Amino acid sequence: MSRLEKKRRPLGAEPGGPVFAAIDAGSHTIRLLVATLGENLEITPLKTERRITCLARGFREGRTLKEAGMSGSLAVFREYAAILEDYGAGPAACGATGVIRKAVNGKEFLERVHEETGIRARILSEEAEAILSTRGVLSVLPSREGAVLTFDLGGSSTEFTLVDTARDEPLWNTSVFIGAATVTERWLLDDPPGSPACAAAARDIREALAPALATVHELLREAPESRPFRVVGTAGTATTLAAMRLGMAEYRPFLVNGSALSTAWLDETIALLSRSTLEARRGIRGLEKGREDIILGGGMIVRAILEGLGLDGLTVVDGGLLEGLLIDEIESRCGLPHSLKTPLTWRRQGI
């Protein structure tokens, strides 16, 4: 039995209501959210953490998680277990995605996590990840009208969900096994990568995304022309690009929610990143430390999504899978219905 299981304080020990927690265990980053629920179904974040662990590094060799990435990730899980104990949170809703889902030793790794920390993670299916991510996106989106295509761009995969905000269930979702880390590891390792490598990466990205984007086009042809349509991006690449666009010295999620990125700005930024060394990228305001190597590959994926849909921009939000996991956990434990139109709301200054 872990220290967390032995010493957990009773649920609701924190003032203001019961305490819930969620962990998003991705291919590049592991994130934690601890929050309390008020009587008016308002969620107030108490603690947020994110650690870059590069779990996907070397994955293409044997489709296995490598020891260096697993050891670093286990250290983060131990840190998070202590935080959960400090806040008296109930069992965290922990979802594992990306390379953990694909790796032949993914389940073995999560067993080690549980044995050492008491945190029990479940491997999310591609469909479950896409829907949970969309629920998190919609929960923080300032305006919810018409058709919305959300994408959650992670280290090794990109989840797409198309929703009509007037309906309770998604219209369509899929996962494409291409992400910021996998593109980087395959094509963009030189420093700087150079034009031929960037061109090869762009072709690879377009080919991988083509079937999913073709399906979106087909589905949109069936929708009334009067209905507005927009693309909303979340997760590390999209939010980092937004922080760069806003020139953030300190990352502030509530400022990212609803921010816009144009294709013109993306083109300029991708061109700058493609000719910049890693050292030069570290000086770019808003570029998260530890993401300098993969931001170019991630930015190219975002640009290819817009190109494939014939759009000149997108909306970015900070909310995504982590928030979706927390919302789903609260609804389950409080007996609330699971729906895209959740009655739960975020305390504005908190999220």
Question: Rounded distance, CA 298 to CA 11, Å?
Answer: 39
pLDDT at residue number 11: 38
pLDDT at residue number 9: 38
pLDDT at residue number 290: 84
pLDDT at residue number 142: 74
Given a contact cutoff of 8 angstroms between Cβ atoms, the answer to whether 99 and 106 are in contact is yes
pLDDT at residue number 98: 81
| Average pLDDT, 10 consecutive residues per value, the chain (351 residues) | 36 61 90 91 90 82 85 94 92 90 91 94 89 87 81 88 83 90 90 92 96 93 72 90 91 83 96 94 90 94 96 91 94 88 74 47
Local structure of residue 163 (DSSP, 8 states): E
Strands 158-164 and 172-176: antiparallel
Write b or e for each residue in 45-73: b if 16 or more Cβ atoms lie within 10 A of its Cβ, otherwise e: bbbeebbbbbbbbbbeeeebbbeebbebb
The 10s digit of each residue's pLDDT in 320-351 is: 899 999 999 999 998 888 888 788 888 864 44
Question: Rounded distance, CA 351 to CA 339, Å?
Answer: 20
Residue whose tokens read 């010493």: 7
Query: Residues 232, 236, 237, 239: is their CA dihedral positive or negative?
Result: positive
pLDDT at residue number 337: 87
pLDDT at residue number 16: 57
- pTM comes to 0.76
pLDDT at residue number 53: 87
The full DSSP string for 259-299 is EEEEHHHHHHHHHHHHT--HHHHTTSTT--TT-TTTHHHHH
Domains and CATH numbers, the chain: 3-124 (3.30.420.40), 130-316 (3.30.420.150)
Secondary element (H or E) of residue 158: strand 158-164
